[in-house]
Every structure is written in C-alpha cells, then in structure tokens.
C-alpha cells in the first residue's frame, strides 16, 4: 500500500509555511513562501495557498493521489466546522469559504482553524502541554494570541471567538490598542506594544539600539534579543512592562480556569523566552489565589515555529 501524507500550513499575513508529514507524523519536507496579503483579494491569498501546496507536492516528489488531507492555521475568526474564515485582521477574508476551492483543487479533505488555537492544540498533542487536560496558551508575537484546552478539548466558545486574551483590559486608562480599546494586554505585551513603548521613549530623547527597527512598525524578535544582550535600558524596560502585564493576565486566567499548565509561545518567546519566563514567574504568584497557584505549572512552548503545523496535523480526522 502506498505511503499516505498530510500537508500542513501556517498561513500568516506575510508568509505561508508548509510541511509534509508522513504516516508516522514525521516532517519529511518543508517550504516557506512570502505572501503579499495587504490589498489582495481573497482569491489571491487562496492562490498562494494552492501554489504552496502544488510546490510542496512537486518538489518533494510525492504523488497528488497520496495526499490524505491538507490542514492549516490562519489568523482570524474561523468556523472550523465549515471551513469558513469569518474575519481575518491581516488577510482580505470576510465570511469566505476557503475549504471549497482547496478541496476542489486537490480532491482531499481540507481543515482550517485560528492559528493560535491550532498552535495551542499542537503543544497539547505533541509539545509542552502533552499529557495535561486543561491548558491555557498565550502566544506573544506581533499581536497577542490565546488558546484554551478544557477537559481535553479545544474550547472555541460561541461562534469560534473564544480565548481572545490579548484584549483582556488590564488598565482602562492605558495605551491605545489596535482593537480601539485602551489598556489591553496586547497593547502592553505584544511586539506592537513593546515597539510603541520604545518609540515613545526614543521620541523623548532617550537612546536605544532599537530606535531604528521600531520607527517603521514592529521590531524583529532577533533585534530584541540583541538589544537585551547589550544591556539596552529602554528595551529592558519594554520587556519588564510586558512581563508585568503578562503576569497579571496569567494570574487572572489561572484564577478563572484553574488549568494544569499555562504555556507561553510565539516569536518573542522563541527569541527571549527564558528572560520572559523568569520575569513572569517572579511576579505571577501575587496575582493567583495561592490554593489554585499550587496546582498550576508554567512552561515555555516546545515546538517553536512548528506548533501551528503540528496543531493543523491534529485537526485532521483519521
């Protein structure tokens, strides 16, 4: 019998990461492609996905007929049951049925879910949260994403909109968030939040090696890593502030859900996770009920860039 393969994708605003898993759930091939999502139509992004899948098939040498299924994580509110992207902040999709054209093109099932939900699922099935039943996941990237596993099941809430921890309001007088509200966790602790703090300090005349990298938007995680290694005071303040609010948010989530474990992932954690973990753990006890705190572990995500890809693999029905 021919080997059966699953193709899994991490669809971002600027890139699509694709891998092929064999039947033993091992990665046998990977590919990364840039996307220009900005003003493109839905069809263009869909075409990028189709092209990436085609390229994965042709360059890896597997047969189209040997693909069992395709699965993806993408930003936004996604109806996992129907394969419809209801809304996506960085991609031009509104109530868009992405499943239909992909299944028609490749003749196999297609699954799609919110990227951070899918990433937390990946950590639960294959990574740092394996073996736990109740998992809170916080992913620190350009924005702030969340995911929640309750009693061994991904919890997506009403209309697949649950676990928007990034928009937990921690200070109603705080900095403006992209969502229009003030003082959200995302406005303090994401790359956007930290970048805007550094920009503000630089505009007041303070020196930072990150001044240039934050002028046109958000920093690259590597720039933050370098700045911290150099002892950049402004960068360290941005991190201290980010971790302070992550500790408060984590305490709130611990008190609300009493999870077995809280997992921290995303690009920032991958680059400087040890610093973040140390600072969050130094403070989080203040915000947890002691009786709940003693049954919770705090861990760094284990799969890095691949958590969404493994989560996509987990969505595929046998």
Q: What percent of the chain has pLDDT over 90?
A: 83
Which of 102, 118, 93 lies closest to 307 in space, CA to CA? 118
Average pLDDT over residues 157-180: 95
Kindly state whether residues 287 and 205 are assigned to the same domain.
yes
Kindly state whether residues 51 and 157 are assigned to the same domain.
no
- Domain of residue 59, residue span: 5-119+307-315
Query: How many CB atoms are closer than 10 A to CB 207?
Result: 10
Distance CA 132, CA 54 (A): 37
Which of 230, 174, 237 lies closest to 202 in space, CA to CA? 237
Q: What pTM was estimated for this model as a whole? A: 0.92
CATH number at residue 42: 3.30.420.40
Domain membership of residue 62 (yes or no) is: yes
Kindly state whether residues 91 and 167 are assigned to the same domain.
no
- pLDDT tens, 263-294? 999 999 999 999 999 999 999 999 999 999 99
Pairwise pLDDT comparison (64 vs 41), residue with the higher score? 64
DSSP per-residue codes, 164-177 = -GGG-BS-TTSPBP
Domain membership of residue 127 (yes or no) is: no
Per the prediction, the chain carries an average pLDDT of 93
Least confident of 18-22, 61-65, 188-192, 261-265: 61-65
Which of 97, 120, 82 lies closest to 310 in space, CA to CA? 120
Kindly state whether residues 106 and 137 are assigned to the same domain.
no
Kindly state whether residues 76 and 142 are assigned to the same domain.
no
Distance CA 212, CA 307 (A): 31
Q: What is the DSSP letter of 102?
A: H
Q: At what angle do helices 99-106 and 42-60 cross, to 10 degrees?
A: 30
Beta strands in 42-109 (DSSP E): 67-74, 77-79, 84-87, 94-97
Burial zone of 88 (CB within 10 Å; 0-12 exposed, 13-18 middle, 19+ buried):
buried
Kindly state whether residues 115 and 176 are assigned to the same domain.
no
Domain tally, the chain: 2
């Amino acid at each position: 019998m021919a080997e059966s393969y699953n193709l899994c994708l991490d669809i971002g605003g600027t890139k699509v990461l694709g891998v092929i898993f064999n039947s033993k759930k091992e990665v046998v091939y990977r590919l990364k492609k840039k996307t220009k999502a900005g003003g493109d139509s839905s069809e263009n992004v869909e075409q990028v996905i189709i092209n990436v899948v085609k390229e994965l098939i042709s360059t890896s040498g597997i047969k189209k007929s040997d693909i069992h299924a395709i699965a993806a994580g993408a930003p936004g509110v996604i109806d996992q049951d129907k394969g419809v992207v209801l809304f996506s902040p960085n991609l031009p999709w509104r109530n868009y049925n992405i499943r239909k054209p992909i299944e028609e093109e490749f003749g196999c099932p297609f699954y799609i879910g919110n990227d951070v939900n899918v990433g937390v699922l990946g950590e639960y099935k294959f990574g740092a949260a394996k073996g736990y039943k109740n998992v809170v996941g916080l992913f620190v990237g350009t924005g702030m994403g969340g995911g929640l596993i309750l009693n061994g099941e991904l919890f997506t809430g009403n209309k697949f909109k649950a676990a928007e921890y990034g928009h937990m309001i921690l200070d109603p007088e705080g900095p403006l968030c992209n969502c229009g509200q003030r003082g959200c966790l995302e406005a303090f602790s994401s790359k956007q939040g930290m970048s805007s703090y550094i920009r503000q300090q630089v505009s007041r005349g303070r020196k930072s090696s990150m001044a240039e990298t934050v002028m046109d938007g958000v920093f690259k995680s590597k720039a933050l890593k370098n700045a911290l290694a150099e002892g950049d005071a402004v960068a360290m303040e941005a991190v201290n502030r980010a971790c302070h609010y992550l500790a408060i948010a984590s305490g709130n989530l611990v008190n609300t859900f009493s999870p077995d474990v809280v997992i921290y992932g995303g690009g920032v954690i991958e680059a400087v996770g040890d610093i973040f973990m140390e600072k969050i753990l130094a403070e989080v006890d203040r915000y947890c009920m002691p009786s709940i705190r003693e049954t919770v572990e705090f861990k760094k995500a284990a799969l890095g860039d691949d958590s969404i890809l493994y989560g996509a693999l987990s969505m595929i029905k046998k």
